[in-house]
Amino acid sequence: MSKYKKILIFVVTCIAVGYLSGMVTRSAVITWFPTLVKPSFNPPSWVFAPVWSMLYIMMGIAAGLVWSRIDFQREAVRKALLFFVIQLVLNALWSLLFFGLHNPLLALIEIVLLWLMIYETYVKFGKIDKIAGYLFIPYLFWVSFATVLNASIWWLNR
């Protein structure tokens, strides 16, 4: 399979996960989320969809680049992609915990685990393909911001 097909498979997979996560958040963003006290640095709701769309595309490209190295670094690629899948599952789980269950504290605990898995994926990807590693940097920054935002929302609404 070509490198571009591998990239496309992962981009489509990541966007699908994002879409499913969005389905969980959609009603809560309209009904529950507006009732919460939010910090002054909370972005407007319209910011999240384009940012996450771009991040899912970048994640998919990164994973496809790593997958394309399977014939040269089989074990490292397998391990890196395992971390990728785990962080992607944790990514989707956060939406369920925060928006689906309306539980900012549980989501905060989970997002810390998510950040650690993203960081580990970034390190592993960077050792296999530098560009794949670089593509994870905006995701790390955004989830760092999201962690602070999540913590602030929990604190303000406890």
Q: Residue 8 and residue 17: Cα distance in Å, rounded? A: 14
- pTM across the whole model: 0.94
| 3-state SS string for 15-44 | HHHHHHHHHHHHHHHHCCHHHCCCCCCCCC
Convert the pLDDT of each residue in 92-140 to its tens digit. Answer: 999 999 999 999 999 999 999 999 999 999 999 999 999 999 999 999 9
Q: Residue 7 and residue 35: Cα distance in Å, rounded? A: 40
pLDDT above 90 for 1: no
If DSSP codes are grouped into helix, strand and coil, which group holds residue 78? helix
pLDDT at site 128 = 98
Closest CA to 111 of 62, 63, 151: 151
- Percent of the chain at pLDDT > 90 equals 97
- The rounded mean pLDDT for the chain is 97
Convert the pLDDT of each residue in 129-148 to its tens digit. Answer: 999 999 999 999 999 999 99
